[in-house]
Structure formats: C-alpha cells, structure tokens
Amino acid sequence: MTWEAHLARLDALCDERALEAVWFARPNAFRWLTDGSNVVDREESVGVAAAGYDGESVVVITNSIEADRSGDEQLPEGVAVSAFP
C-alpha cells in the first residue's frame, strides 16, 4: 500500500467517525503509518513515539532522546518530529 493510500484510508476513517485526528503508538500501527519503528523495548506494548494524522500532515511525537534518531533513521521524508523533554 502506498503512502497516499494510507492517508486516503485515514481520511475516510476520520470522515466516517467525525474525528479531527488519529494517533498510533503501538508498534504495528506506527509502522503501518510511517514505515518506521518506535520500538526500544520489545516487551512494551507501546513504543517511544506516537504518530498522528490530522487530515493534512503526519507528525511524530517522542522524547528528546529519540527525536533525532527517529527523524534521521526511522521516518520517511516529510514527517515532522516534535520532541518533549
């Protein structure tokens, strides 16, 4: 499935359920949207980053330790990374 197809599916979901945005923190869902990995500890059910889509753009939120690595190594071009301390 292409990037555009993923976003089209999310657009349809948001329209159908009247959502402003959708967020993904579980590793399999994060990978589906971003084709990247948010896993540091395989024993955890959620990763160190969450990916959100608001109908216009995809943004990843993660801690300041993982932000550079996520942006440089894990995410496709055009995905913004926002870090928190």
Please give the structure tokens belonging to residue 38.
């948010």
Average pLDDT over residues 17-31: 94
Which CATH number is 57's domain given?
A: 3.40.350.10
Rg value, the chain, Cα? 13
Q: Could you list the residue range(s) of the whole structural domain that residue 8 is in? A: 3-84
Structural domain count, the chain: 1
Element (H, E) at 24: strand 22-24
Does the pLDDT at position 10 exceed 90?
Answer: yes
Model confidence over 36-63: pLDDT tens digits?
888 877 777 788 899 999 999 999 999 8
Q: Whole-prediction pTM value?
A: 0.84
